[in-house]
Amino acid sequence: MKKSIKLPVFLGAVALISTAALAIVNGFTEPVIEQNIRAKANEGYLTMFGLDNFDNYELSNLEISDELSNAGVTNILQLKEGDSIFGAAYDITSNGYGGELSFQVAFSGSKYAGFNIVSSKETPGFGSDILDEFTTYLKGKDISTTMAQIRADVEAVKAGSTITLDAVMGPLESVVSAYKTLSGR
């Protein structure tokens, strides 16, 4: 009878101690992880725009419309050079095949300035290849390129990653439209 009481109490105590330990470790590591993600996002802005720093630019975070929020946009960074808009970058969170993915799309003038993957759990050889293809394909592409053409070109390189492709294409269409409105193009 004593064993039948001791074992569940012991297991409950171990589970409680383990949960507390994990909560403490998470409390210490979560801010560091978020800081690293933010640093990668900031580095991505510079890389996409081909800049070393933002010294000569006025930066502002724009208000996110409901439509863009529904598309997964979490931040809009506008760069101004003097009185004119130099470009804009959109931070996007979407759900791909492997789970949540976070990426950035930047525009300058009438071109895509770049595409940056901030974090992804996509499968190597499939979803991650699609994301890598966007990174190289979009830079310098004219914003008048149709979504159908972008889809066809990217899909031709790596077919079979439809869920990841859709996770990028939906938000991409929304931010292209928003940038065209913002920049008057």
**Looking at residue 34, what is its pLDDT?**
76
**Looking at residue 160, what is its pLDDT?**
66
What b/e readout covers 67-79, taking b as 16+ CB neighbours within 10 angstroms? Answer: ebeebbbeebbbb
Structure tokens at 9: 């109490």
Based on its alpha-carbon atoms, the radius of gyration of the chain, rounded to whole angstroms, reads 22
Side chain identity, residue 100: E
* Domain boundaries defined on the chain: 47-183
- In DSSP notation, the chain reads -HHHHHHHHHHHHHHHHHHHHHHHHHHHHHHHHHHHHHHHHHHHHHHHHT-S--TTSEEEEPPPPHHHHHTTEEEEEEEEETTEEEEEEEEEEEEETTEEEEEEEEEETTEEEEEEEEE--PPTTTHHHHHHHHHHHSTT-BTTS-HHHHHHHHHHHSTT-HHHHHHHHHHHHHHHHHHHHHHT-
Q: Give the contacts of 79 (CB within 8 A, at least 6 positions apart).
A: 49, 54, 57, 58, 59, 85, 86, 87, 88, 89
Whole-number Cα distances in Å, 166 to 72, 90, 151, 176: 13, 17, 9, 15
What b/e readout covers 44-65, taking b as 16+ CB neighbours within 10 angstroms? Answer: bbebbbebeeeeebeeeeeebe
pLDDT (tens place) for every residue of the chain, 185 residues total? 566 778 888 888 888 888 887 888 777 777 777 777 777 777 888 888 888 888 888 888 899 999 999 999 999 999 998 888 899 999 999 988 888 899 999 999 999 999 999 888 877 776 777 888 888 899 999 999 999 999 998 887 766 677 888 899 999 999 999 999 988 77
**Looking at residue 28, what is its pLDDT?**
76
**Looking at residue 3, what is its pLDDT?**
67
**Looking at residue 179, what is its pLDDT?**
93
**Looking at residue 71, what is its pLDDT?**
94
**Looking at residue 64, what is its pLDDT?**
94
